[in-house]
Chain A
Amino acid sequence: MSPGAPPLKLIFAGPPGAGKTTAIAAISDFPPVNTDVAATDEIANTKEATTVAMDYGEITLADGQTVFLYGTPGQERFDFMWKILSANSLGLIILIDNTRRDPLADLSIYVDNFRELIDSAAAVVGITRSEQGPALGAYFELLAQKNCAMPVLEVDAREKKDVLRLLDAFLSVLEYAVA
């Protein structure tokens, strides 16, 4: 990628509370635009606010390439935003909270819903709060069953270096995909 190239558009998806807003905030060059409102559903038991439209941030890579960072709302009732935000995107980072009731089912939902984007672009999976819950191998098995190969990394969405590692993995997959 070269300086002056058109910006890349990258989507962060995943269930509510997986760390999408936090991850974008960790790496964005400026405080991200967010659309958080008070949560009134079951999410309110774990956090006060939830994204209802999108998060938006930007990061400029070392080679001058700008990457637009879009975070989707997590709840399935906002799946219309998933489609809107996915348009013209070059790929997807799926964040999964390993402490949720069934994180493998969560991944399955997002892979199914974003399948078109996954198949046509690049995707990676980031597992947050990985100190408990399924091991990484279980995710690879699930992805293999879905005939879907992508990197799966453990990350702390609050840590810039972790999110950048995820971004590096994404860019590597992207380079391979377009090669």
Chain B
Amino acid sequence: MCCVCWTLSSRSWNMPLRNTFTLTDGQNELCRRLLDRLLAASPELVAAFVATTDGRLMLDRCRREFGGNRVASMASSLLALSEALGGELNVKPSSHVTVSSAEAGTIVLLRVGDARNLLTLTTVARQGMNLGALLASSRRAAAELAGICSEFAIDLSATSG
């Protein structure tokens, strides 16, 4: 049995044109430490992926092998579909999808930070991890990721050229 829940956010695209967006070395290191801490705090949490909202993997930390690039793209599609569905149903603001399976575990997909942020976080937990605990730890991590991005001031226009 599987369930999907969502909440929504509005977004705008008033951003300058730019070349490929990537994390800086500093952002990458801080994100890596954050994901390591996240996994260390919950043995049932088996993987965490940071990706762009358009489905490009930035960083992943996993206890076993996953196709990170594939996960990043699928997370992007699923989040976007959940937002489109919410739009149809006039369900508003923001930011996560939970795919929960009694047999296989739980996946949480979140947008990181506010609508201008270009990152998503996906966490995967084994069967047995409490959904509330997974959601709470994933949200805290997403908030911290948003802070990391903010601290390093992702300037989209500065990545052009």
**CB contact between B77 and one of A35, A38, A44, A46 (< 8 Å): that residue:** A35
Question: From residue B107, how far is it (CB to closest CB) to chain A in Å?
Answer: 15
User: Is residue A21 within 8 Å, beta carbon to beta carbon, of the partner chain?
Assistant: no
Check A53–B15 contact: CB distance below 8 A. no
Contact, CB under 8 Å: A53 / B18: no
The residues in A between 18 and 33 inclusive whose CB is less than 8 angstroms from any CB of B are: 33
Residues of A within 8 Å of B127, CB to CB, are: none
User: Is A65 in contact with chain B by the CB < 8 A criterion?
Assistant: no
The stretch of A75-83, A100-108, A119-127 in contact with B is A75-83
Given contacts A38-B15, A44-B19, A44-B21, contact A50 B84 (CB under 8 A): no
Q: What 0/1 readout, one digit per residue, does chain A (20-63) give for beta carbons within 8 Å of chain B?
A: 00000000000001111111111011101110111000000000
Give 1 or 0 for each of B19-61: 1 = CB within 8 Å of chain A CB. 1110000000000000000000000000000001111100000
Contact string against B for A residues 58-93, beta-carbon threshold 8 Å, 1 for contact and 0 otherwise: 000000000000000101011011000000000000
The reply to whether the CB of B73 lies closer than 8 angstroms to some CB of chain A is yes
A37–B87 Cα gap in the complex (Å)? 14
- In chain A, what residue has the closest Cβ to B13? A48
Residue contact B78 to A53, C-beta cutoff 8 Å: yes
B116, chain A: closest CB distance, angstroms:
8
A contacts with B, residue count (CB < 8 A): 25
B158 within 8 A of A: no
Task: Give the distance in Å from the alpha carbon of A52 to the alpha carbon of B81 in the complex.
Answer: 9
Nearest CB in chain B: distance from A82 CB, A: 11
In contact, B76 and A80 (Cβ under 8 angstroms): no
B17 touches A48 (CB 8 A): yes
**B19: which of A37, A42, A73 is its contact (CB, 8 Å)?**
A42
Q: Does B88 contact A (CB under 8 A)?
A: yes
What chain A residues lie within 8 Å of B73 (beta carbons)?
Answer: 52, 77-78, 80
Please report which residues of chain A, range 111-152, place their CB below 8 angstroms from some CB of chain B when the two chains form the complex.
Answer: none
Docked Cα-Cα span, A44 to B16, in Å, equals: 9
Complex CA–CA separation, A48 to B12 (angstroms): 10
Residues of chain B whose beta carbon lies under 8 Å from any beta carbon of chain A: 11, 13, 15, 17-21, 52-56, 69-70, 72-74, 76-78, 80-81, 83-84, 87-88, 118
15 CB contacts below 8 A, A to B, read: A35-B80, A36-B13, A37-B11, A37-B54, A37-B80, A38-B11, A39-B54, A40-B53, A41-B54, A48-B15, A52-B54, A52-B73, A53-B77, A75-B55, A77-B56
